[in-house]
């Protein structure tokens, strides 16, 4: 797992800390600040587009599981 600040590089390509990764169709993405209600800490299922938008907005800390350059799971911290 790689924890850190999420940074937008290109659609579907993001950076966590110093590690770049791709987002696949089956990547599990959860977090109230990524999509849904940021006032709740409940894990909501989000889309890759939601994740791109959250990364572009900045200041989001996540934990990412990466295998062969592709994220299996992205979870808001």
Q: What is the pLDDT of residue 13?
A: 97
Q: What is the pLDDT of residue 53?
A: 94
Split into its structural domains, the chain has a count of: 1
Residues spanned by the domain of 41: 2-76
Cα-flanking dihedrals φ and ψ of residue 73, to 5°?
-150, 140
**pLDDT above 90 covers what percent of the chain?**
74
Residue 24 falls in which region: left (phi positive, over 0), alpha (psi -120 to 50) or beta: beta
Q: Which residues of the chain have a pLDDT value below 70?
A: 37-44
């Amino acid at each position: 797992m790689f924890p850190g600040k999420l940074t937008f590089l290109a659609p579907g390509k993001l950076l966590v800390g110093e590690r770049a990764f791709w987002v696949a169709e089956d990547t599990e993405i959860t977090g109230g600040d990524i999509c849904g209600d940021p006032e709740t800490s409940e894990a909501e299922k989000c889309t890759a587009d939601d994740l791109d938008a959250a990364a572009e907005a900045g200041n989001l800390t996540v934990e990412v599981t990466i295998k062969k350059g592709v994220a299996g799971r992205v979870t808001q911290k």
